[in-house]
Structure 1
Amino acid sequence: MTAIEPRSTKPVLMTVDDDPGVSRAVARDLRRRYGQDHRIVRAESGRDALDALRELTLRGEPVAAILADYRMPEMNGIEFLEQAMDIAPHARRALLTAYADTDAAIQAINLVDVDHYLLKPWDPPEEKLYPVVDALVETWRAVGQRPIDEIRVVGHRWSAECFSARDFLARNSVPYRYYSIDEPEGARLLEAAGAGPDDVPVLITTDGTALRSPTDAQIAAACGLTTDPVSDFYDLIVIGGGPAGLGSAVYGASEGLRTVLVERHATGGQAGQSSRIENYLGFPDGVSGAQLTDRARRQAAKFGAEVLTARDVVGLEARGSARVVRFGDGSEIAAHSVVLATGVSYRSLEAPGVADLTGRGVFYGSAATEAPACRGEDVYIVGGANSAGQAAVFFAKHAATVTLVVRGPSLEASMSSYLIKQIETIDNITVRTGCQVVEAHGDDHLQSVTLRQGETTESVKAGSMFVFIGAAPRTEWLDGFVQRDERGFIPTGPDLVVEGKRPPGWTLDRDPYHLEASVPGVFVAGDVRADSVKRVASAVGEGAMAVTLVHRYLAEQ
């Protein structure tokens, strides 16, 4: 049994390793760096560690982080962390593993939401151990072990408006609890709010305020998300909160620019909806889009960037040296420079019945909020790129069957090989190539789809369908201001100089910079840029590079 000292208010760092020498060494290194502000608890077996966690929980002591060895008798590190999550759900988790166990550990980590893994030996700790623990502690402090104030959402599963509200809350990391109007508690809350079935969704805030069929902007305001800018003039306005926009916001604010990021729905973009991104540099065990987005958003805020949510940008114009952004409500803000990082949206599936059932069984993107409701159902994923593959792997953990409907002849042309291999190992995923959805059927929700594969057409039962078919930029609001190509993407830099001639209306005695649009001081990063590489890493890189070019532009003014 692990000995627990008298009750302390210091957050606990726990280390679990069956090798006494290793256990003492980890505790020693942790104590040297963190002992003043944290209490170090060590255990030499998973069972002892679970007992210690239960005692700490009963005494109300916060557990900030747990470092567990992967290879232990009776209970390995993954098995231990699975049970530890139930006892100390707020604690951050890391796995200690030998080099020989790395592949097995990475595969197993997919089963548990582990933040990091560490290779043994970790000498020197200043380079290998402490940066990991610093990240664990920082993340824990951002969430802490405070009671979570949840917004209550009352609605109906097959209401598109209810899905939209829950999706908005989830993608903005706002805790909420959902109640169906068909359940006694949901009916009670609906009555208490003085609302009826036609008013759903009904959101009940932590102070008891009831909102009937609220807009995204009303939800954002009720949740404490920032919707109004502090100033009316900035050095840099970033439009779009995906990886490219977040990259620009982080680098702009960290380099001293007064920076504001404006997002229409929720930060993260398409990447924020990915269940697990496994080929992003620095995350060998993968990271969910939500985790990556949350870290980037907190990083931007740390450096002083403002993040405005649920603000619809409808116009951009030049007034002298200022670049003015107009919002849908008629208000506006201005800046010396702008980065357009609006990304792309999934194309609509043009088949009879799909539009009527969107939000009621048919969804665009991964819609992770629907995963629990898919348990035992037959789920269809439409698309053959990485986002569709990631969704298939994610929903396979919940659904009875997952069918990947791919229009092309194979996955190899559009999906990363690591993801193809992963899909091949999952028994309840079926891949149908040369196949397409030609119709969706259902009364108040999706019930079946019609598939066409070659000359064969068949109708199959479907509980939910998630669509990932290509991408289209939302740039109509820029028409007449910056050049766009025939598909709506924005060309930049050298692509704007044709036969030695700069774009019409160009006012500077130089060619546009590499990421600069046809209007000086307006830069483009990420998927919305013409001929960009559609990867998270390249989007972040372009966001950072755009800020470097912003500095160069500002120096000219």
Structure 2
Amino acid sequence: MAADRRPVAATRGEQMFPQLEASEIARIERFGEPVSFEAGDYVTRAGRPSTGMFVILEGEVEMLEPNLPERPPIIVHGAGSFQGELATLSGRPSLVDGLARTPVRALLIPTQRLRDLMIAEADLGERIMRALILRRVGLLESGGSGPVIVGVSGDGDVLRLEGFLARNGHPYQLLDPDRDAGARCLIERFHVGTEDLPIVACPDGQMLRNPSELELSRCIGLVRPIDCSRVYDVAIIGAGPAGLAAAVYAGSEGLSAVVLECRAFGGQAGASARIENYLGFPTGISGIALMARAFNQAEKFGVEMAIPDEAISLSADCDSTGSFLIELAGEEWVRARSVVLATGAQYRRLAVDDIEAFEAASIHYWASPIEARLCSSQEVVLVGAGNSAGQAAVYLAGHARKVWLLARGPNLSASMSRYLVERIAAQPNIEVLTETEISGLEGHDGLLQTVRWRHRPSGTETRREIQHVFLFVGADPNTHWLARSGIALDDRGFVRTGAEAGAGRLPLETSRSGVFAVGDVRSGSVKRVAAAVGEGAQVVATLHGYLADASAVTPLAAVQRI
């Protein structure tokens, strides 16, 4: 059966905009406070921090997408409905405008109290959480909210910003000045030169010229200043499957936790087009959908998410009670009583001349709808023979005219799951070339035009006009930033844990007491999503024991123990 491509509002409207009964509102009242608005007042404004969820008692509030002012309202909330989406759960800036059509009387549930409500009133919390998630999906589909990127589609910096927002589940709109008169007018109005493109118009009115991911995230409120004076129970570094699992279990068990991630939640799993062997999802699920559920779950339990915030060093903080000091790239730091390393791995590059010149626009390390749009009806090359490569090849085959899959080994079966090998064989537009490697790349101005590959046994070289190459050639442990931390690594750079790290170490503990490692970054780990999730859950049980013991240690002894 073909997938239903209709908008989520058309297929799940009742779940997206449920009506609360009087008895349910009565159960909610203890979590909120009464508020009122006059006709014409803004209940919420796009770009301003969300104060909480509003349950409408009397009157009407229309929800408007700021980037699409001529469209009808998303919905008009009346008595018994509630206003909010995922930004409400975290207190981040609202993505939409809420305008009172008539005098309104409502119940405001502040962000923290909304989390309390979801835990104390489980059935109501489930309905509300589902609605918040579906509303975010609706905003992602419509493209009528969030920042507006103005730049040429396919440009390297445009792709960088698109990928960052998409992988963080944040709505945005892209306007190409080559196709959109409004984009051209905006460029002329602000006297923007070609060298300053892309520009980004943020919901709060700021305009950024070719911003970094950190600059953009701060402008839209995706990342907020860290409270450097606070000492968390645990700092989790990395927001892949292992890190998010640790966050969910730590938050749900009452630990104060912060997650630090340098780019986007999900890790390599978040880049998977489709995961079909994860327990409980017999029809499969995209990596970003699975990881987004985990991210939302962690926020529901009050975990603080700092994305993108890159950890660059780890040391003991001698000025506090035996805590750790994590220095961030933005000249801030985080203090925590314990640390969980879940930094995973970083993508490997091919040893091919000039590959760096094409990485912005033509060399890709994941296959998402953005990349699929770029290579629609074209030929592409995909290098790799693992499960990630197989998933990407099958996904891209649904968009590209042809996928050339290059593998160094004699077959795919040695490194790829059988179901993927069979699915690739069944795709008429995937051609597998074994014992083959890329020998050269040609192009200019950062745009790839030609790819050459060589069959190693025969030496035969093939040259084809191809503009996009996808690399899934494995990854190296992301541990370079630990060079001065004193944490023991194995000969391949993975973190040693448990008995391998030293006598008397706790399960998953590194050579430094109080610092733990889980997931792909750990020496000896099984490189599977389910294994990473299991370790993330397991480490929290160990953390409780460590934190209980650490509380009984004097400050000086705690520092010496490190």
1:153 corresponds in structure 2 to: 149
The reply to whether residue 522 of structure 1 matches residue 515 of structure 2 is: yes
Letter in 2 for 1:386: N
Shift of 1:294: 1.2
2:452 corresponds in structure 1 to: 450
Q: SS of the residue aligned with 2:414?
A: coil
CA distance in 1, matches of 2:257, 2:126: 29
CA distance in 1, matches of 2:159, 2:365: 12
1:534 corresponds in structure 2 to: 527
CA distance in 2, matches of 1:61, 1:390: 41
Letter in 2 for 1:548: A
CA displacement, residues 148-183 of structure 1 (integer Å, 9 cap, x when unaligned): 413211223453222211111111111112223422
CA displacement, residues 314-353 of structure 1 (integer Å, 9 cap, x when unaligned): 1000135211100123221111100000000110111013
CA contact (8 A) 2:382 2:470 kept: yes
Shift of 1:532: 0.8
Distance 1:431 1:212, change over 3 A: same
Shift of 1:135: 7.8
Please report the TM-score for the alignment, with normalisation by the length of structure 1: 0.73
Distance 1:350 1:552, change over 3 A: same
Letter in 2 for 1:283: F
CA distance in 1, matches of 2:433, 2:22: 56
The reply to whether residue 173 of structure 1 matches residue 169 of structure 2 is: yes
1:544 corresponds in structure 2 to: 537
1:463 corresponds in structure 2 to: 467
Of 240, 256, 260 in structure 1, the residue corresponding to residue 238 of structure 2 is 240
Shift of 1:13: 5.9
CA contact (8 A) 1:158 1:359 kept: no
Distance 1:60 1:149, change over 3 A: closer
CA distance in 2, matches of 1:330, 1:59: 41
Shift of 1:523: 0.3
Q: SS of the residue aligned with 1:446?
A: strand
- Structure 1: gaps of 5 or more residues: 1-9, 15-29, 39-56, 63-129, 503-510
Corresponding residue pairs, total: 436
Please report the TM-score for the alignment, with normalisation by the length of structure 2: 0.72
The reply to whether residue 472 of structure 1 matches residue 476 of structure 2 is: yes
* Matched ranges for 1:209-358 at <5 A: 209-230=206-227, 232-320=230-318, 321-358=322-359
Distance 1:134 1:212, change over 3 A: closer
Shift of 1:476: 1.4
Q: 472-481 or 444-453, which moves further after superposition?
A: 472-481
Shift of 1:367: 4.6
CA contact (8 A) 1:317 1:323 kept: yes
CA contact (8 A) 1:165 1:201 kept: no
CA distance in 1, matches of 2:314, 2:247: 19
CA contact (8 A) 1:217 1:227 kept: no
Of 171, 174, 179 in structure 2, the residue corresponding to residue 183 of structure 1 is 179
Percent identical pairs in the alignment equals: 39
Letter in 2 for 1:476: H
Letter in 2 for 1:139: I
CA contact (8 A) 1:227 1:311 kept: no
CA contact (8 A) 2:276 2:283 kept: yes
Letter in 2 for 1:492: T
Distance 1:407 1:131, change over 3 A: farther
CA distance in 1, matches of 2:397, 2:465: 17
1:139 corresponds in structure 2 to: 133
CA distance in 1, matches of 2:369, 2:295: 20
CA distance in 2, matches of 1:222, 1:201: 15
Shift of 1:133: 8.3
Shift of 1:452: 0.6
CA contact (8 A) 2:149 2:198 kept: yes
CA distance in 2, matches of 1:217, 1:423: 38
Of 198, 213, 216 in structure 2, the residue corresponding to residue 201 of structure 1 is 198
1:488 corresponds in structure 2 to: 493
CA contact (8 A) 1:229 1:306 kept: no
CA contact (8 A) 1:493 1:513 kept: yes
CA distance in 2, matches of 1:483, 1:341: 15
CA contact (8 A) 2:352 2:439 kept: yes
Letter in 1 for 2:171: P
Distance 1:131 1:404, change over 3 A: farther
CA distance in 2, matches of 1:443, 1:58: 46
Distance 1:135 1:229, change over 3 A: closer
Shift of 1:304: 0.4
CA distance in 2, matches of 1:198, 1:295: 38
CA contact (8 A) 2:410 2:434 kept: yes
CA contact (8 A) 2:313 2:484 kept: no
Shift of 1:368: 3.6
Distance 1:217 1:512, change over 3 A: same
